[in-house]
Amino acid sequence: KKLGWALVGLGSLSKNQIAPALLKTKRARLAAIVTGTPAKADEWKAKYSIPDTHVYNYETFDKIAENPDVDVIYIVLPNGMHEEFVVRAAKAGKHVFCEKPMANTADECRRMIAAVKAAGKMLGVGYRCQFEPHHRECMRLAKEKVFGPLKFIEAGFGFQIGDPKQWRLRKNLAGGGALMDVGVYALQACRYLTGEEPIEITAQETKTDPVKFAEVDETISWSMKFPSGVLASVMTTYAFNGSNFFTAICQGGRFGMDPAYSYDGLKGWTSKPDVKIEFPATDHFEVEVDAFSDAILNNKPFAQSGEEGLRDLLAVEAIYRSIKEGKAAKVEAP
């Protein structure tokens, strides 16, 4: 059986990644769309054979409750709109999948988790790398101590952002800058390589363009301490290209990925010639959508849950707190 998925927000990610992936998924199909732009609705209806009855705008969205063809609602809107639409989707009695970062703040995440729980539905967060085979192999290498105990991680993800008018540079819509958008990938990598939550964070920020980045962070580097004693040194930026990697330094060798977080062309490497990290290309969105659908259909727990999204936001908030206070910050409990 294929579950019917509705896409909310038909921007770049929905158009170029998620909708094409939904043509390949084994357990999911694109059943409905929600958009504020009538011209997009016409284009999508024709391209994906979606009937008029399965097209909503942001005002009519709540009527999706009456549509039995929709099982899951995927929120692909700017970060600051995730809470409103996740809560409305839950109230419509549907399972909810939400893009990363889960929301602007940890408190928003808590309310989203509570709303989906009250509806008796499942909530997933779009951490695509966690389904990707190179990343999964790196998690295994760390967990099984193939290179001995993990000691130190270096990671970073950034890019030079274009259009100064886009929502990613507006605090209310984005929650923050590079850290919220791409820094979370490097943060996630540290969390799933250690299998632990950071306890203390020290962060520094630099802003070379205070006009463009008047509302959000431009470049941040931070150090995270994990309970086992592992330290991670991480960076993110909106000011330049070139950082898209992680390196895991273990007692008896090293491994990593570079590039690590792109949609394709990922490369793994290790310090031992006989240990390779090589896998065929995977559509990250196809595997994550099928994994969530499978969890719903078979009533299985889903690791990339609302709680997982919340844990990222707790670390993000500690990073911002450390910058503001100029000292180490403890990561709050969920």
- Enumerate binding residues for ligand NAD (CB under 6 A): 9-14, 36, 76-79, 99-100, 126, 128, 167, 173, 181
Q: How far is the CB of 287 from ligand NAD (least distance, A)?
A: 12
**Residue 185 appears among annotated catalytic residues:** yes
Tokens of 13: 């990610």
For ligand NAD, give the closer residue by CB, 14 or 244: 14
Q: How far is the CB of 201 from ligand NAD (least distance, A)?
A: 22
Q: In what order do the strands lie in the sheet with 329-330?
A: 268-270, 253-257, 244-250, 150-158, 231-237, 219-225, 200-206, 329-330
The 10 Å Cβ neighbour count of residue 254 is 16
- DSSP string for 40-105: HHHHHHHHHT--GGGEE-TTTGGGGGG-TT--EEEE-S-GGGHHHHHHHHHHTT-EEEEPSS--SS
Tell me how far apart the alpha carbons of residues 48 and 23 are, in angstroms, rounded to a whole number.
9
Q: Which of 74, 94, 100, 238 is catalytic?
A: 100
Tell me how far apart the alpha carbons of residues 93 and 256 are, in angstroms, rounded to a whole number.
41
For ligand NAD, give the closer residue by CB, 33 or 193: 33
Q: Which of 56, 74, 127, 185 is catalytic?
A: 185
Cβ burial of 26 (10 Å; 0-12, 13-18, 19+) is exposed
**Residue 192 appears among annotated catalytic residues:** no
Q: How far is the CB of 150 from ligand NAD (least distance, A)?
A: 26
For ligand NAD, give the closer residue by CB, 86 or 230: 86
For ligand NAD, give the closer residue by CB, 94 or 284: 284
Q: How far is the CB of 326 from ligand NAD (least distance, A)?
A: 29
The residues annotated with a catalytic role in the active site are 100, 185
